[in-house]
Amino acid sequence: MKFLRYGEVGQEKPGLLDDDGTIRDLSGVLTGVLTGDLQGEALGKLGDLHDLDLQALPVVGGSPRLGPPVAGTGKFICIGLNYADHAAESGLAVPPEPVIFMKATSAICGPNDPIVIPRGSTKTDWEVELAVVIGKTAKYVSEAEAMDHVAGFCVTNDVSERAFQTERQGQWTKGKSCDNFGQIGPWLVTPDEIADPQQLGMWLTVNGETMQDGSTSTMVYGVAFLIHYLSQFMSLHPGDVISTGTPPGVGLGQKPPRYLKPGDVVELGIGGLGAQRQIVIAD
């Protein structure tokens, strides 16, 4: 199933996308059954909704804004250099263990919300990534057990300010955490709809020009391993998001490097998970 949240910022309601592409409201179903929204322990119970009569759910008319499909994310964990060809274009070696950094949860926004170039930015960049949303607490889990802890998968744009990231000292977090640097969605797709998360095509265009055209099959460390690995260092809780890395084609890797400017249009997607469209604006 494809779960989503729709409405104005801070007032989103839970919904789902039916087989005809119609948004259906879930507010009445979730109230008193789960938590009233797609967050917390509710994420581990999404499978309970598979027997719903979708045609009986209220239709959401018009073209509402889509928010991030998950609310209340506690941790936004990112994996760096997880595609060998992206590491090469960045001039860096493939790491012997996953590179982990955090992206501030305040960066999270809807899939079609604008990319906001922060003040002082000169190198705002794009990164299409597969995001994994945790549905059940994971601590010291084995790789074989890891996928049992997944609520679903999403598209995310790990927007990055490269000068902040690499030229301003310290860790990468400051170049990854600016407002509207974490578009997630359009929906949360449950694992039963994704036969193999390691066989998903992914793409990104800027002003209609293809910049990234890759596949999750070329990840260095796959989804199950990443959940297992992270759970050795910290508990993963329902609603936590793991952004699993990007294939080559980012602005930093262009020759010469190319970065976003106000008025640019970024579109991106992953097979089976939907697409995003963002207009670039200045803060």
Report pLDDT digits (tens) over 16-62: 999 999 999 998 887 544 445 787 777 877 877 878 888 889 999 99
> Quick one: pLDDT band at residue 91, thresholds 50, 70, 90?
confident
Q: Domain coordinates of the chain in residue numbers?
A: 2-67, 76-282
Cβ atoms 100, 176 nearer than 8 A: no
CA 182 to chain centre: 7
Report pLDDT digits (tens) over 243-281: 999 999 999 999 999 999 999 999 999 999 999 999 999
**Which single residue is written with the structure tokens 């949240």?**
5
pTM above 0.75, yes or no: yes
**pLDDT > 70 fraction of the chain, expressed in percent and rounded:** 98
Rounded to 10 degrees, the C-alpha dihedral 163/177/113/128 comes to: 70
Looking at residue 36, its pLDDT comes to 55
76-282 folds as Fumarylacetoacetate hydrolase; domain 2 (3.90.850)
